[in-house]
Structure 1
Amino acid sequence: MWGMNLLESDLFSEFDRMRREMDQIFGAGGTPAAGIRSAAAGAFPPVNVGASPERFDVYVFAPGMDPGSLDVSMQNHLLTVAGQRSAETPEGVQSYRRERFDGEFRRVITLPEDADPDRVEARYQDGVVHIQVQRRESSRPRRIEVH
C-alpha cells in the first residue's frame, strides 16, 4: 500500500473496528446474536460453553486481565461477563497496526431455564475464567425406586 499515510491507515483500522463491533451486536447474519451457541466472529473475550447433567461450564479466555476487574453476574438465565482491557503503547512509540482488542467489553450468554442463579462460582487461573452454574435440583433426573 504505497503512498498510504498513517491517517488513512488509522481511518481504515477504525472502520474495521466499527464493523467488528456491529457484527458483535447484530451477529454476522444481521440478526441479534443470542443463545448458548451464538457469537460474532472476533468477539472478545472468546468463550466455550459446555453442559453436564449437574451443571453448565463456561470458559472465558481473558489472558492478562486482573480478575478483580471482571464483572460476572447472572440474572434471568443471562450470564454476563463484562470488563475493560487496556493495551498500552509505550511512550514515544507510534502504532502502525493494533490487532489486540482493548476497551470495554460485555459478553452475555443465555443459559437454559434450569440454571440456578444462586449457585454460581467463578475462578480465574492462567488467563481463563471458569464459571460453573449448577442446575436446579428440581430439574435433575432422579431415580425412583419401585417397590
Structure 2
Amino acid sequence: MYRSLFPSDLFAELDRLQREVHGAFDVSPSIRGLGRGGYPALNVGTTASSIEIYAFAPGLEPASIDVNLDRGVLTIAGERKSREVSPASDERLSLHIEERFYGRFRRVISLPDDIAPDGVQAEYRDGILHVTVKRRESAQPKRVEIH
C-alpha cells in the first residue's frame, strides 16, 4: 500500500488514521489468543502430535528471548535493542515514519489442555523463533482395527 510521507488532504489523512485506530481495537478474542497485532508477529498451528508456534522476530539475540510454559500458557518475551539511526543520533535526519519496533515485548498464548509440559522445544534461526509443544500421547488420535 502506497502512502505519501506528506499528506496533501488533511481530512483524508484523519480518516485513514481513524480506520487504523479502530482496526487496532477491533480484535476477535478466541481461546487461542487474539487474532492480530503485537510484536513479534505469530503463526500458530496444530498437528495431530504437536502445537507449532512461529514468532517472526528478526534481529534478536537468542539469549534475549524468554520462552516460558506455565499451566497451559506459553509466554514469549524479550527486548529488541535499537541500533538504527534515530533523530537523537543524527541531527540532520528528520524522521517521518518509524515502523521498526524496538523495546520490550511479550506475547501470551493459551494452549489446550492436552499438551505435554515436558515436550517443549524452541529454536531461533534466521529471525524466526520456532516453538514446538508436544501433545500428550493419550490425546493423539488412534486407529482402531475392527476384528
The TM-score normalised by the length of structure 2 is 0.72
Which amino acid is the alignment partner of residue 98 of structure 1? E
Q: Of 71, 79, 84, which residue of structure 2 is paired with 1:84?
A: 79
Give the share of equivalent positions with the same residue, in percent: 39
How far the C-alpha of 1:92 sits from its partner, in A, is: 2.7
How far the C-alpha of 1:141 sits from its partner, in A, is: 2.1
SS at 2:43's partner residue?
strand
Which amino acid is the alignment partner of residue 60 of structure 2? M
Greater length-normalized contact order (CA 8 Å, ≥ 6 residues apart)? 2
How far the C-alpha of 1:65 sits from its partner, in A, is: 0.4
In structure 1, what is the equivalent of residue 31 of structure 2? Answer: 35
Q: Name stretches of at least 5 consecutive residues in structure 2 with no aligned partner.
A: 1-5, 8-20
Q: Does the Cα contact within 8 Å between 2:33 and 2:108 map onto a contact in 1?
A: no
SS at 1:113's partner residue?
coil
Task: Work out the number of aligned pairs and report it.
Answer: 125
SS at 2:63's partner residue?
helix
From the superposition, tell whether residues 68 and 75 of structure 1 become closer, same or farther in structure 2 (CA, over 3 Å): same
In structure 2, what is the equivalent of residue 129 of structure 1? Answer: 129
From the superposition, tell whether residues 56 and 95 of structure 1 become closer, same or farther in structure 2 (CA, over 3 Å): farther
Spell out, residue by residue over 1:33-87, the C-alpha distance to the aligned partner (whole angstroms, 9 max, x if none). 553252443x100000110101010000000100111000111111110001122
Find the aligned partners of 2:141 and 2:115 in 1 and give their Cα distance.
14
The TM-score normalised by the length of structure 1 is 0.72
Find the aligned partners of 1:68 and 1:55 in 2 and give their Cα distance.
25
Q: Does the Cα contact within 8 Å between 1:87 and 1:100 map onto a contact in 2?
A: no
Q: Which region of structure 1 is more displaced relative to structure 2, 108-117 or 82-91?
A: 82-91
From the superposition, tell whether residues 146 and 121 of structure 1 become closer, same or farther in structure 2 (CA, over 3 Å): same
Q: Of 60, 84, 88, which residue of structure 1 is paired with 2:55?
A: 60
How far the C-alpha of 1:101 sits from its partner, in A, is: 1.0
Asked if 1:75 is matched to 2:70, the reply is yes
| Aligned-pair Cα RMSD in Å | 2.8
